[in-house]
């Protein structure tokens, strides 16, 4: 079955697709759309940013929901049933519409920089007539581009923000945290982003086209390698029973690098992006239940409502392009010792539900991580959902990520504390860390030093000392073993200071 997607109003059908060919390589080497650049090929620099659209069921008001993603770590079958916008899509001059009408794709005539009536001029001086999209004009006129290599990526991220794509409600600096520029300096880029508030798109026709190409579950075979894109958990379970060794791919923000950097072959692949019932989110007074296929960008507000520290943690998982693709389930299932979700979710007492053709089983998330690279997942099972109990009024929670760079960086240490304090006594404690051991793990000694003790500075000091005996962390480029031990203990002290209302202004300033 062919992979079908819509590019600039045209339905593109690709037969015999290599399931691990990247969208970026296809654009550059097959379609010769070389405006989308390759910087790092690992999701870090944003030079390859494109927008992917799907029918909008979010109630957000648009006909199509757009997401900025890194084309370098998206595999071609992940485009099936979607719409794609590249930097070439933004001008009429470089890629005329198939209908020959000469309007930008989905840009209404009022909103098109290519049409007769341009949108209200952004507040920059010297804006002249051009075939550029308003954002491109603003970038040029603000001097926001020197060598220009990063510019298409910035333009696509900013265009996404301007048209209300996922994450559009965030400040410009947050939207651009996944885009790197080596030579211009970020001031003019941020100014350009601020200068264009919103652009109107009319995606009604595109939504109809998307509906027309939506069909059966996609699947294919390329040089003996099978791939599938099921649409329901039932279908997924049946496929996994037949192909227990198949590699599951959700957002590919981990797996993509195994291919582009590790040059690994994945064998049979099952793509999870179309499995509708993996994307559920249920919030009740008791708990938040997140489907494994929920992307971090969509989970963000729900996590933030559960606890602000959890929302802040999610804001710092990769850049927006990574959170627009990467899923909560992928972060957990991957089992990385430095994944940010697991320590926080373990401390909050999350439960994991695994599903297979023979049923479901549920376990505390902490029990899922057996050893480095080894999780308690049987052949044929997949992660279906994660349930996080809502913290009670007696909960004292602190979740913090320490990394060498604030944005878009991997944790050296990620610590999460969840204490229950009743009438001045700590009656329960869950403390978990990432970056301190071969798996995300609870700190048994620290917890023992807390429970049953008064919530006091002396208790915190004793528990901070005990914490140092809980782990034997590695030395690596992100931090030495000694640094990690000291920093972990300091995070517990920070919880105490925060609870005393001691505003640690330097730390808060560094964080913000
Ligand atoms: C530039 C960059 C920055 C990043 N920054 C961070 C960061 O700050 N913090 C952080 O924690 N992570 C970070 N990551 C890692 C990654 O984004 C996350 O781990 C993400 O949540 C993975 O989700 P995914 O859907 O992309 O997983 P995938 O790559 O699709 O899959 C990851 C693993 O999980 C398995 N899997 C996926 N879904 C399921 C399922 N439902 N059931 C069973 N197995 C499944 C896959 O088979 C694979 O083994 C970053 C990645 C990149 C590229
Ligand atoms: S090339 Fe750097 S993020 Fe894709
Ligand atoms: S303009 Fe050169 S990398 Fe940004």
Give the pLDDT confidence of 100-112 residue by residue, as tens digits.
Answer: 333 333 333 333 3
> Is the pLDDT score of 93 beyond 70?
no
pLDDT over 90, % of the chain: 82
> Is the pLDDT score of 369 beyond 90?
yes
Give the angle subtended at the CA of 26 by the CAs of 317 and 240, to the nearest 5°. Answer: 65
Of all ligands present, the nearest one to the C-alpha of 152 is: 3
pLDDT, tens only, 331-355:
999 999 999 999 999 999 999 999 9
> Is the pLDDT score of 144 beyond 70?
yes
pLDDT bin (cut points 50, 70, 90) of residue 133 is confident
Ligand 3 pocket, 225 CB below 6 A? no
Structural contact between residues 238 and 355, judged by C-beta atoms closer than 8 angstroms: no
Q: How far is CA 134 from CA 112, 114, 192, in A?
A: 8, 9, 10
What global pTM score does this model have?
A: 0.92
Task: Choose which residue among 22, 25, 40 to substitute to test ligand 2 binding: the one with the highest number of ligand atoms within 8 A of its C-beta.
Answer: 40
Q: How far is CA 380 from CA 150, 201, 224, 333, in A?
A: 42, 43, 21, 14
> Is the pLDDT score of 23 beyond 60?
yes
Distance CA 139, CA 247 (A): 41
Among 260, 262, 237, CA closest to 248? 237
Q: Using CA positions, which residue lies closest to atom 3 of ligand 2? A: 43
Q: Using CA positions, which residue lies closest to atom 50 of ligand 1? A: 318
Among 33, 69, 29, 39, CA closest to 51? 69
Task: For residue 182, give the ligand 3 atom closest to its CA.
Answer: 3
Structural contact between residues 153 and 40, judged by C-beta atoms closer than 8 angstroms: no
Distance CA 155, CA 379 (A): 43
Q: For position 320, what pLDDT does the model report?
A: 98
pLDDT bin (cut points 50, 70, 90) of residue 132 is confident
Q: How many CB atoms lie within 10 A of CB 122?
A: 19
Q: How close is the Cα of 141 to the center of ligand 3, in Å?
A: 15
Q: How close is the Cα of 439 to the center of ligand 2, in Å?
A: 28
pLDDT, tens only, 388-438:
999 999 999 999 999 998 888 889 999 999 999 999 999 999 999 999 999
> Is the pLDDT score of 262 beyond 50?
yes
Q: Using CA positions, which residue lies closest to atom 4 of ligand 3? A: 181
pLDDT, tens only, 267-298:
999 999 999 999 999 999 999 999 999 999 99
2-11, 29-38, 113-122, 127-136: segment of lowest average pLDDT: 113-122
Give the angle subtended at the CA of 485 by the CAs of 482 and 491, to the nearest 5°. Answer: 135
Across 366-385, average pLDDT:
96
Ligand 1 pocket, 177 CB below 6 A? no
Go through the domains of the chain in sequence order and give each one's CATH number.
134-195 (1.10.150.120), 396-509 (3.30.390.50)
Among 109, 108, 113, CA closest to 93? 113
Task: Choose which residue among 237, 333, 368, 377 to substitute to test ligand 1 binding: the one with the highest number of ligand atoms within 8 A of its C-beta.
Answer: 333
Give ligand 2 pocket residues (Cβ under 6 A).
38-41, 43-48, 70, 72
Q: Using CA positions, which residue lies closest to atom 2 of ligand 3? A: 147
Distance CA 498, CA 502 (A): 5
Across 133-150, average pLDDT:
92
> Is the pLDDT score of 127 beyond 70?
no
Q: How close is the Cα of 295 to the center of ligand 1, in Å?
A: 10
Q: How close is the Cα of 237 to the center of ligand 2, in Å?
A: 33
Q: Using CA positions, which residue lies closest to atom 38 of ligand 1? A: 330
Distance CA 173, CA 171 (A): 5
Distance CA 248, CA 275 (A): 12
Distance CA 512, CA 506 (A): 10
Structural contact between residues 332 and 435, judged by C-beta atoms closer than 8 angstroms: no
Q: For position 130, what pLDDT does the model report?
A: 54
Q: How close is the Cα of 39 to the center of ligand 2, in Å?
A: 5
Across 18-45, average pLDDT:
97
Q: How close is the Cα of 185 to the center of ligand 3, in Å?
A: 8
Q: How close is the Cα of 98 to the center of ligand 1, in Å?
A: 37
Ligand 1 pocket, 247 CB below 6 A? yes
pLDDT bin (cut points 50, 70, 90) of residue 131 is confident
Give the angle subtended at the CA of 258 by the CAs of 255 and 263, to the nearest 5°. Answer: 145
Ligand 3 pocket, 146 CB below 6 A? yes
> Is the pLDDT score of 504 beyond 80?
no
Q: Which residues contact 190 (CB under 8 A, 6 or more apart)?
A: 172, 173, 176
Q: For position 57, what pLDDT does the model report?
A: 76
Ligand 1 pocket, 317 CB below 6 A? yes
Ligand 1 pocket, 233 CB below 6 A? no
Task: For residue 145, give the ligand 3 atom closest to its CA.
Answer: 1
Q: How far is CA 261 from CA 222, 269, 339, 387, 428, in A?
A: 21, 18, 19, 33, 43
pLDDT, tens only, 313-327:
999 999 999 999 999
In eight-state DSSP terms, residue 510 is H
Of all ligands present, the nearest one to the C-alpha of 37 is: 2
Distance CA 106, CA 201 (A): 6
* Beta-sheet pairing, 441-442 with 351-356: unpaired
Structural contact between residues 313 and 344, judged by C-beta atoms closer than 8 angstroms: yes
Task: Choose which residue among 296, 326, 386, 478 to substitute to test ligand 1 binding: the one with the highest number of ligand atoms within 8 A of its C-beta.
Answer: 326
Structural contact between residues 71 and 50, judged by C-beta atoms closer than 8 angstroms: yes
Task: For residue 154, give the ligand 3 atom closest to its CA.
Answer: 4
Q: How far is CA 11 from CA 108, 287, 364, 394, 510, in A?
A: 20, 42, 45, 55, 47
């Amino acid at each position: 079955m062919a992979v079908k997607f819509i590019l600039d109003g045209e339905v593109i059908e690709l037969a015999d697709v290599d399931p691990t060919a990247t969208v970026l390589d296809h654009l550059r080497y097959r379609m010769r759309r070389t405006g989308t650049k390759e910087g790092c090929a690992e999701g870090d620099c944003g030079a390859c940013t494109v927008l992917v659209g799907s029918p909008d069921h979010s109630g957000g008001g648009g006909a199509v929901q757009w997401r900025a993603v890194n084309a370098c770590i998206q595999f071609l079958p992940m485009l099936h049933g979607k719409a794609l916008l590249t930097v070439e899509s933004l001008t009429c001059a470089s890629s005329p519409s198939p209908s020959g009408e000469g309007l930008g794709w989905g840009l209404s005539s009022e909103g098109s920089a290519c049409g007769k009536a341009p949108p209200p001029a952004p507040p920059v001086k010297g804006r002249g007539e051009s075939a550029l999209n308003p954002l491109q004009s603003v970038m040029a006129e603000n001097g926001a581009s020197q060598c220009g290599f990063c510019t298409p990526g910035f333009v696509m991220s900013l265009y996404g923000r301007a048209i209300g794509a996922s994450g559009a409600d965030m400040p410009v600096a947050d939207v651009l945290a996944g885009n790197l520029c080596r030579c211009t300096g970020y001031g003019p880029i941020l100014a350009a982003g601020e200068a264009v508030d919103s652009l109107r798109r009319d995606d009604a026709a595109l939504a109809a086209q998307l509906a027309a190409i939506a069909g059966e579950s996609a699947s294919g075979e390329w040089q003996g390698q099978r791939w599938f894109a099921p649409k329901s958990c039932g279908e997924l379970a049946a496929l996994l029973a037949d192909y227990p060794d198949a590699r599951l791919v959700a957002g590919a923000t981990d797996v993509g690098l195994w291919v582009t950097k590790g040059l690994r072959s994945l064998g049979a692949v099952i793509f999870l992006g179309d499995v509708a019932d993996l994307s559920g989110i249920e919030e009740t007074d008791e708990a938040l239940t997140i489907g494994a296929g929920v992307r971090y960008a969509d989970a963000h507000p729900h996590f933030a409502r559960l606890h602000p520290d959890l929302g802040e943690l999610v804001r710092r998982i990769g850049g927006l392009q990574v959170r627009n693709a990467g899923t909560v389930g992928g972060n957990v299932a991957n089992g990385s010792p430095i994944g940010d979700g697991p320590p926080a979710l373990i401390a909050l007492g999350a439960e994991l539900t695994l599903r297979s053709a023979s049923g479901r089983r549920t376990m505390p998330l902490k029990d899922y991580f057996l050893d480095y690279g080894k999780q308690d997942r049987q052949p044929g099972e997949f992660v279906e959902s994660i349930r996080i109990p809502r913290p009670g009024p007696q909960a004292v929670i602190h979740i913090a990520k320490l990394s060498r760079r604030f944005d878009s960086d991997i944790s050296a240490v990620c610590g999460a504390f969840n204490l229950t304090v009743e009438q001045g006594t700590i009656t329960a404690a869950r403390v978990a860390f990432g970056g301190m051991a071969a798996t995300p793990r609870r700190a048994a000694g620290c917890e023992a030093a807390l429970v049953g003790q008064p919530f006091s500075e002396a208790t915190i000091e004793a528990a901070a000392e005990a914490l140092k005996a809980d782990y034997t962390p590695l030395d690596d480029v992100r931090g030495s073993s000694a640094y990690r031990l000291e920093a972990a203990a300091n995070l517990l002290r920070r919880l105490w200071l925060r609870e005393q209302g001691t505003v640690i202004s330097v730390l808060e300033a560094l964080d913000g």
